[in-house]
Chain A
């Protein structure tokens, strides 16, 4: 059986990739994908521990995370579409309206 630490390591790697994606990339879609990546790395941790402790809590939480992620994508994509309509771009650096 593959030890839990392996999964955790994979999860950390995935999460780091996600963080790097959010911080470095400018394309909004990619940003979303990076966020998804982070969420899924968290899912992986949940599932891994769930298997280790033989409890179902972690797996249930994964379902929650997945629905939240779906909802987030739905809202997020809608936002991106509207932004694209007004700006003709999905570059996040173009939408710096909050600049002080």
Chain B
């Protein structure tokens, strides 16, 4: 059954080719069916792979598709790896992908580039599957950059919208360039791996690092830190997270699929995949853990102060990715994967519901002719009666995200916290405790900003005509929401503390992937903190609801300037803008116009070389040639001329007989000479 695995890629490829070629003739319904059907078919194949693995005693299987780059000893094939880790990701990507495709059919209804959207979306699924199915780092990198470019295209899907009609396009470019900075780290890491191992195949690389152990620790540290740079780019960690909030310019299904559920988790997947290298590099593990925890907290504080419904979720995503990264750093790979999966469920749910809200408000805006920003939560309020299903699923998503028992988020987040506790208290590493505290704080903030969001969006009274006229969306959009809501509720079941289903499943990929025992103290603390935080949120926002769409945040009176600091995202964009971006542009202009054009081209070439050549040739042609050499030969010519005019010319009379006389005299002379001799 393993030989079916190439079909997992083939189906979406066929889907995108069909839509690419025939998309404009097919009409929305068929385009949607083909695109969603292709992903659904892939989903079926990935589920078959699960059974194939079970039949195969969970042993890894590789399927060679084609040769790719072979030079000397370097062998890099297109080869698919089917192990428990990759299959988990395949099922997740295609499963959530299918639901989001179906949702998108409703969401993108009436868009003039409908077919193109689904081409991109299918292409994204292909690339994501290449990423997770890869059997070597380079193929993973193909998917890695491939999803990046799909992200670029989809963020800029409405490339003629946004600030100055270019805002979306700029956001896409920013995302790709920032990602490429991360890719640079990944690339160098690959070079170093190849330099040491002589191969990029996972098996060979992991075998090498497992067997060499600490003697290659220094190398492993460098490699893992470089891989972290890559992961920070893709999974939006400090310092490269700035692209993800801007990426919300894309259509909402894109935000859900790419910027919440799948692509941004690629960094975590890659680090989990490289776990054996991290295992022998404790200092980079520590860096990873602290970086993740720091990101989790920092992004949480920013989410606290945002007004844009999708931006709150974007920063929340960064924060949750921080949880996963921290988990990887703590060596809690199962917890990271677990949270990755549950987060895919509930964050996709939240994004899609937010999309549903935005769609509803836009609908209201059309009806009431009130063209306010449909994503600004200040323009919402009181939607709970107008969009009942959306409200229901949104609350489910929010509770799951906040980590309230017994929803999926509780189990996964709790496992990460328990791991941090374990590293800190049981193993006694200082960073374990630091991570625990940072993450716990982040969890508290998470519960708070989700409460804030729910109340601002759904409770109170409508603060704009558009929100007042909002209406529920059609079933293509709500049915996937319900599906995801169910997954968000029961998703925790895949790895309950007493069964460790996911843990023992992933253990077959790496022997040291294992879950951690349930820690009642941690669970109770975090639940209590979350509940308290929700309670505070209710007091702040529910008791004194926002009065109008221009009213300040009630939190302003409490937090004051720091809220402004949070609202402006810690001024990170401004910092990068003035340092890197401005500096680069200045440097580029300086090099291009001052150095290359003015100095090298105009000055050196045109002034020095050309001018000095002209000067030399001027001197040569003027004084030397014209006045010197030329004069001499002129004189010579004149003297010849004079001789000719004065002496030779008169001889030429033009009379035939004179010439004949000359001839005769000549003959006489010749004869005379002959006679004399």
Contact = CB atoms under 8 A, between A and B. Distances in A.
Touch A–B, Cβ below 8 Å: yes
Interface of A: 19, 22-24, 26, 31, 92-93, 95-100
Contacts of B651: 100
B634 to A, nearest CB: 22
Contact of A100 (B652, B657, B660): B652
B653 A23 contact: no
Contact of A93 (B648, B649, B652, B655): B655
Interface size grouping (class) on chain B: 10 to 19
Contact of A96 (B649, B654, B661): B654
Interface of B: 648-657, 660-661, 664
Nearest to B658: A23
A19 B649 contact: no
B653 A96 contact: yes
A99 B656 CA distance: 10
A22 B661 CA distance: 9
Contact of A99 (B648, B653, B660): B653
Contacts of B656: 22, 31, 92, 95
B664 A19 contact: yes
B660 to A, nearest CB: 5
A12 to B, nearest CB: 13
Given A100-B648, A100-B650, A100-B651, A92 B664 contact: no
Contacts of A93: 655
A97 B654 contact: yes
Give the 8 A-B residue pairs with the shortest CB-CB distance, closest first. A96-B654, A99-B654, A100-B652, A100-B649, A98-B654, A92-B656, A23-B657, A22-B660
B652 A99 contact: yes
10 contacts: A19-B664, A23-B657, A24-B657, A92-B657, A96-B654, A96-B655, A98-B654, A99-B652, A99-B653, A100-B654
A56 B406 CA distance: 144
Given A97-B654, A99-B652, 19 more contacts: A19-B664, A22-B656, A22-B660, A23-B657, A23-B660, A23-B661, A23-B664, A26-B657, A31-B656, A92-B655, A92-B657, A93-B655, A95-B654, A96-B654, A96-B655, A98-B652, A99-B653, A100-B652, A100-B654
Contacts of A23: 657, 660-661, 664
B639 to A, nearest CB: 18
A98 B652 CA distance: 7
Nearest to A93: B655
Contacts of B652: 98-100
A31 B660 CA distance: 11
